Chains A and B, each alone.
Chain A
Amino acid sequence: MSDILSAALLLAGAAFCLLAAVGVVRLPDLFTRMQASAKSATLGVGCTALAAAVHFEPLEVKTLALLVAVFLFFTAPVGAHMIARAAHYVGTPLGPHAVVDQWRPHLTDLPSATPPDSTAARTFPAASQGEPGPDL
Chain B
Amino acid sequence: MNACCLLAMNAAPPGLVAMAGQAAMLAVLAALGLALVRLVRGPSLADRAVALDLTTTLATAFLVIHAVRAGEPAYLAVAMAVALVGFLGTVALASYLKRRGHP
Residues of A within 8 A of B (CB): 3-4, 6-8, 10-11, 13-15, 17-18, 20-22, 24-25, 30, 33-34, 37-38, 41-42, 44-45, 48-49, 51-52, 55-56, 58, 61, 64-65, 67-68, 71-72, 75-76, 78-80, 82-83, 85-87, 89-93, 111, 113, 115-116, 119
Q: Which A residue's beta carbon lies closest to that of B75? A: A52
The 7 nearest A-B residue pairs measured at CB: A14-B24, A7-B20, A21-B31, A21-B34, A87-B46, A79-B90, A14-B27
Please report the C-alpha to C-alpha distance between residue A120 and residue B100 in the assembled complex, in whole angstroms. 17
Closest chain B residue to A71 by CB distance?
Answer: B83
Q: Bound state CA distance, A11 and B58, in angstroms?
A: 14
List A contacts of B60 (CB < 8 A): 45, 68, 72
Task: State in angstroms the CA–CA spacing of A13 and B25 once bound together.
Answer: 10
A11 to chain B: which residues have CB within 8 Å? Answer: 20, 23-24
Residues of B whose CB lies within 8 Å of any CB of A are 15-17, 19-21, 23-25, 27-28, 30-35, 37-38, 44, 46-47, 49-51, 53-54, 57-58, 60-61, 64-65, 67-68, 73, 76-77, 79-80, 83-84, 87, 90-91, 93-95, 97-98, 100-103
Residues on the B chain within 8 Å of A68, using CB = 60, 64, 76, 79-80, 83
Secondary structure class of chain B's binding surface, majority of residues: helix
Q: Are B24 and A10 in contact (CB under 8 A)?
A: yes
B54 touches A41 (CB 8 A): yes
Q: How far is the CB of B94 from chain A (nearest CB, A)?
A: 4
Kindly state the separation between the CA atoms of A49 and B57 in the bound complex, as whole angstroms: 12
Complex A-B: 10 CB contacts under 8 Å: A7-B20, A11-B24, A21-B34, A21-B58, A55-B17, A65-B76, A82-B94, A87-B46, A90-B102, A111-B101
